[in-house]
Each structure stands twice: as structure tokens, then as C-alpha cells.
Structure 1
Amino acid sequence: MEPGNDTQISEFFLLGLSEEPELQPLIFGPFLITVCGNLLIILATFSDSHLHTPMYFFLSNLSFVDICLTSTTIPKMLVNIQTQSKVITYAGCISQICVFTLFAGVDDCLLTVMAYDKYVAICHPLHYMVIMNPWLCGKLVLASWIMSLLYSLSQSLMASQLSFCTHVEIPHFFCELNQVIHLACSDSFLNDIVMYFVAVLLGGGPLTGILYSCCKIVSSIRAISSAQGKYKAFSTCASHLSIVSLFYCTGLGVYLSAATTSSSHSSAAASVMYTVVTPMLNPFIYSLRNRDIKRALKIVFRGKL
């Protein structure tokens, strides 16, 4: 794109799904389920003293981040569908990039922290409460927020320094960082370098840690003699592995779809999986067979706090 007309623009145009009003109830339903389901997990965790453990502390934080991650993009998309508008302001777009990358980064880090928690629980059960003490749990969550905040601020500040031509069309229903950078009229080489370097660092690093934890967990499970013990240990980490697989597979699908097709519909559909479907499934996967969560919810609904 030639930088012939690179005056600072005041708005972008989001092409993804904005012209398909029939999709509004199909998207609003999962969004509502995501918010309500994750709120119930947070409520159950805080209301039941039996759930004041490291595992549920991390789970409640993950639920909060999932609500924020979904709320960053879906409400704006629903408004655009309802009003048949494609416009998002320049300031709104940069803000959305900052907030979305923040919560996506925290989500990624928390999944890694939870994998470490399960590794300690299964491989070092006798020392679990000593290792996973409240001080360490707090520091792990705080570190996740700090690293993600630094990443999101750096990316949004660098994106704000780019110049854009008039009538910039983004083939998504939200301001996706990779798409916005590649639509700039000015040189975005430094943005690409930083984006891909940090993506490898914050994506590949946590994934490596998760896979290492899985290998150690599988090795420990094989050493358990009783079938009941093996089942209990496996069920402890199976739900987490499901969420990790969904998170990375759908996230990878977003970038592969953006790289292999120019269709805004295909890219937006992949993004819906990443930003709506995965956070919606988290409460079901973590609590569907979790007797502690079910008991806590029953107490909440019966008013026996």
C-alpha cells in the first residue's frame, strides 16, 4: 500500500459479520452463557470456603479474564450488527487492541500457571500445600498480569505510531493486531518484529511449559498402581488439557485463516471460535463433572452461605 495519502484518520471499518443480522441471536446466546457461566464459577469459588484452594483461585481468575476478553469484542460487534454499521473510532480501535491483547495474554499465562498447579498436585502431592502457598499463587497471578500489561501497552503504543490511509477496512469484527499493522501505510517492519518475537516468547514459552507439565503428569500417572488412583489423577488434568487445546487450536486457526484467505467472513468466523466459543466452554469443561463446584452452586442458590 503506497503512502500517498497517509493523513491520520479518525475511524476504521470492521467488515466481519456486520452485514449479517441473522447471526445476532447466535452470537448473543453464547456471549450471555459465557458471562453467566463464568460469573457462577467466581461466585461459587468466593462463597464456599472449601473452594479456597490454589486450583479454584486460579480458576476464578481465569473465569474473570474470560468474561473481560469476550466483553472486549462482542458487545461492539452486536451493536454494529444491530445498527448495520461498520465504524469503530481510531481511539476505540487502539484501545481495543490494548485491552484485548492484555486479557488474551493473561489467559495464556493463567493456563500455564494452572498446568504447573496440576503438575505439583499430581507429581508432588505431599508437598502441594507447602509449594502452592498463597504467597506464591498471588505472585504467579500478578506476574501474569504484569507481563501481559507490558506486552499490550507496547503493542498498542507502537500501533498508534503508524499512519493509515483513508477508508481502512479491517476483515474482522474487532481490531485484531496483526490485521491493523498490515493495513498501515507507513513502515510496519519494527511492529512485525516485536509482534512475532513476543508471540513466540509469550506463546511458545507457556506452551512448552504446559507440554512439559503434561509429560511429567503422564509419567506420574503411569507409576500409580491402582486404577482408581490413575482415573482420579487423569481426571484432574483432563479438563485443563481440553481448555489448552481449544485455546491454542482456535487461536492458531485465527492467524492461519488470516494468512491463507482474504475473506472477511472466514477470518471473522475463526475469530468467533477464539473469542466466544472457547470462553463459553470453560465453565462447562471445568465444572460439568466437578462435584465441588456443583455443591457450592447449590449452596448459593439455596441461600445457605
Structure 2
Amino acid sequence: MAITAALVKELREKSGAGMMDAKKALTENDGDMEAAQDWLRTKGLAKAEKKSGRTAAEGLVGVSASGGTAVAVEINSETDFVAKNAEFQAMVASIATVAGTVDDVEALKAAEINGKPVADVVTDAVAKIGENMGVRRMAKISGDNVATYVHNAAADGMGKIGVLVAYSGDDADFARGVGMHIAAINPAALSEADLDASAIEKEKAIQMDIARESGKPEAVIEKMIGGRMQKWLSEVTLLNQPYVKSEDGKTTVGKAAEAAGVTITGFVRLEVGEGIEKKEEDFAAEVAKAAQG
């Protein structure tokens, strides 16, 4: 596969690696972007998670809860100006409320607000506000109790990040604090048991390759891997992460929950624009083009 400048640029942006390192990684892996990123990590040439989680679209995540069920809905717009528009925010609130009655985005688009399908409500808003927008995704969670949290709130119940927490116990304030933790730290799963087995094996293989680069004996490498995997699991699983609100900075979410008489049974985190690539505009080129007529 031909290694183009565009591929090298994309890998550099995702990994933070230098140009020659990025090109070599792609060459070694026949242009496979994911394999090239893993190769860079193995060689210690990737900047940790640089830009990989950066959001690229605008809009809001709306959340709502009723009884033991909570829902989060991402509704995108082209610019942040529209996300601050009162009419757009009112639409987000209405859609988040009706989302609690359905189970997926397609059903949500067909659900009605004041006798009109959500899809038509959005179409009307596009015509009125003058900017493209759409309902991208939704997520629901159920439990004995549920809590919601929004980060960068634009209005009540909506912001750039929406978090849902399912739990048992009576400490609603603690559950909301866990929601804040999830918004800030972005854990991959609740516990080790909830992680995809393939993700664990992939990380173990990467750590094994990194350790072997040291040239140490296999027996030493095995011990190194055990410690590194434990560290990785504590970084990506909610219950093993140091709770952001703990006074000592060391108490895990799991231990803090136990002390609060709370059992966290699940969570959802939606961030505006996750996984959407936003076209980078060349402002100077645009001005030059406009000047040419």
C-alpha cells in the first residue's frame, strides 16, 4: 500500500509522533493505521493518547431521568453559536425528555413532540435557525437509582458531556460526584470484568513488546508485565481509579463507594463530537479565494 502524505499527517495527529517515525510505522504495517499506532506505542514513539479523544463537532448532550431510568442524547450543530441558542436548547430539552420513552435513535426520530415526529422538529429547526443539525445517538441506563451529571452546562440538563450513573444505595450526592469523576477521567469500563477480553489481550501484547525491547530475561519481563497491566487496569476501569473527590487523592472510586454505602452498577458517558472528524478550514486560503472573486 502506498504511504501517502495524508496518511502520515493523520498518524502524526493521532499519535504525536515525528514525521519520519510516523512514515516508518505505516511502512512497517502496510498502511494499517491502528497497527501503526500500536507499533509506535511499542517503540515508545507515541505521545500518550495525544489528540485521539479530541472532539470535533458542536452541539449539546441532553440528559433526563425518571424513576430508575436515565437517558442521554447527543444533538449536533455546525457551530457553538447555535449550541448557545435558546431555541436549540429548548429543542434539546424536549428531545431528551421524549428519549426516555424509546430505546434507540431511529425510534427517537419517529417519536412525537406535540404531535410532530422528532425528525420533523429537527428539520424545522434547521430551516428556522439556518444551520445543519441532527440527532446523532442516545444511550439509556437503568438501576435501583440513577444520577445524571453534565459538564460545561449550557442550560439545565445539557452540556458538552453528559453522564448517567446507575447505582444502589441512598447517597445521591455521592453518585453525582461519581458522574463528575466519569466526565473528567473518562473510564473505559466499570471494572476489569466489563472490559472486552480482546482489549486486555491487545494491551498485554503491547506491554510485552515494550518490555522485550529492554532486553531483560523472560522471568523479569513476566513480573514487569504483571505490574504494568495492573497499572493499566487501574487507569481504565472506574472502580479502580483514584476518586477525583477523595481527600487523600488515593482512595479508589470502589472504596469510596463502599464507604458511602453505594454500589455503582453501570454508567454511560457521551461527549459532543466524539469520533467525528471536523474539516480543518484554511482561513488564509479562504480569504485569498474570496479576493479572487
* TM-score, normalised via structure 1 length: 0.26
> Which of structures 1 and 2 has the bigger CA Rg?
2
The structure with more strand, counted as a fraction of residues: 2
Instruction: Report which structure shows greater RCO (CA 8 Å, sep ≥6).
Output: 1
* TM-score, normalised via structure 2 length: 0.26
